[in-house]
Structure 1
């Protein structure tokens, strides 16, 4: 229990530090968001100072000292107020993130889970059959694909499956050209799946090599441990030794890495969302930086920070459950 309380305290401090950095970084960026908004929407090179000040007030921008702005920012966070988006005015940031987050988590999250599970299983199998044809073929092949620049891979998939064979849609989150009813109906679900296939394949191919190679190397070290050799000497089945003894201990270092990848999931695969015009908060972040949208930048980074901290806390708990030695040390 004391260990759990220490970890909770650590994550609370980390959350406060993340929120503070989240407040400071956008305000260190050059430029005036209000002037950028006026130039974009009105095409005016100059406006009166009073009009500009009214726009700043409407957007929640302030000329108060930085420390006063900081406490206003923390108070708004405690009340769930993330501000109003500039480039999607007057939509609240919370509403934008709530809509786009489900698209990012649905696509990138599912692809990350598939990549982790498939890569881990392949890594276990490759290490168990070391020096065989699978060990000599699969890791170099996956390393080659992972070395291909991310956007080139995405563009290649778009060209082959979208233009040459024309079997998969190449943009958007669902079909917007037909009278499709958005909701939990079969037509809409099938459309979402079809539009998510190419982005998901891009993410899986680009990330699976790391899981395979990491698991393979850890498995090779684990297979030489005494407890694995003892299990084999007892005559236990090959499947039980591979999974219950070797793989269970070899997967421990990957747990933290998977937790980190889940945190990056919420940030979205920015290039993927841009190439495939896929809705998500990664693309929102790009638009927010381009338009100096402080509120949306802060809201996006806050969601990413919360997800990273939550994922690492869950990984800490799972790591303790999987490794008896950790439980004994912390008991």
Structure 2
């Protein structure tokens, strides 16, 4: 418990630093888009109109320290201001429109990659030197070495455009989000398959290779030899002893992968026009929309910290050495 509380304090401090940096960096760089907009209209608007425009865009002449504490208060209230590129929509509503779709696509792809890759790596190590071990990891690494944009476009062209097996874009068929029915869920899953498949395909190589290498190291440990000498079934030795220990490096990587869900799908969402946060981030950067960019960067940072804290907590239950070290 002490170890978990210590890690929680560290991540809370890291989150505070991230929020502070997220505030100061845009304000320390020269110029901002809202000031440019105000300057554009300054010759055709009177002082009262300019002040109203600055207020609408959230511009203020208050001291930087006062702005900082106002910013912190707004963060805790969930107020990230208004999007400059989609004005007057609040930033939170813009993010809310794509958050669920990014989470659905990213988490589905990450967990499928983790489960399938770890399983293939464990099987390759258990039968090391055989045909499966010689073929599977190199083929998966070869597929993952392709430029992702090219591979996604190729799969999109073959399976969506030429064969018509999957939809050519969006997250659902209708104009409005589908209802929560079997037909609606099936429609969403059909649109999800190709974007998720492309991410899984290019991600399997590292997951498989990392698990294989960890398993080979674990299989040489004395406690596995003892388990086999006791007459335990091979399947129990594999899953209850070898896989549980060898999974630890992949679980660490899983935390980073979950944290990068909202930033690592940009190309996927562009190719398949999937309405997630990666696509929203691309549009925000193109439009120099600082409030939206700040909110997205903060979400990405906090998601990485939260995922790593979750992994540290899981480690306590999977590895007694971590628990013992934290209590020492």
TM norm. shorter chain > 0.5: yes
- What are the ranges of 5 or more consecutive residues in structure 2 without an aligned counterpart? none
| Residues 1:28 and 1:208: Cα distance change in structure 2 (over 3 Å) | farther
- 1:136 aligned partner: 134
- 1:200 aligned partner: 196
| Residues 1:132 and 1:289: Cα distance change in structure 2 (over 3 Å) | same
Q: Deviations over 1:278-315 (max 9, x none)?
A: 00111111111221212111211222222212111111
* Secondary structure of the structure 2 residue equivalent to 1:251: helix
In structure 2, what is the Cα distance between the partners aligned to 1:133 and 1:278?
38
Pick which of 107-116 and 29-38 moved more.
29-38
How far apart are 1:37 and its partner, in Å?
5.5
In structure 2, what is the Cα distance between the partners aligned to 1:131 and 1:16?
49
Contact 2:171–2:188 (Cα < 8 Å) also in 1 = yes
Matched, 1:218 2:218: no
In structure 2, what is the Cα distance between the partners aligned to 1:49 and 1:254?
61
How far apart are 1:92 and its partner, in Å?
1.3
- What are the ranges of 5 or more consecutive residues in structure 1 without an aligned counterpart? none
Q: How many residues align?
A: 326
Pick which of 231-240 and 182-191 moved more.
182-191
Matched, 1:26 2:26: yes
* Secondary structure of the structure 1 residue equivalent to 2:239: helix
Among 89, 96, 121, the residue aligned to 2:119 = 121
C-alpha RMSD of matched pairs (Å): 2.1
* Secondary structure of the structure 1 residue equivalent to 2:142: helix
How far apart are 1:36 and its partner, in Å?
5.7
Contact 2:3–2:323 (Cα < 8 Å) also in 1 = no
- 1:12 aligned partner: 12
Contact 1:36–1:291 (Cα < 8 Å) also in 2 = no
- 1:173 aligned partner: 171
In structure 2, what is the Cα distance between the partners aligned to 1:210 and 1:26?
36
Among 262, 267, 285, the residue aligned to 1:271 = 267
In the superposition, the TM-score normalised over structure 2's length comes to: 0.93
Contact 2:83–2:89 (Cα < 8 Å) also in 1 = yes
- 2:254 aligned partner: 258
How far apart are 1:154 and its partner, in Å?
0.7
* Secondary structure of the structure 1 residue equivalent to 2:102: helix
- 1:73 aligned partner: 71
Among 314, 323, 327, the residue aligned to 1:327 = 323
Matched, 1:242 2:231: no
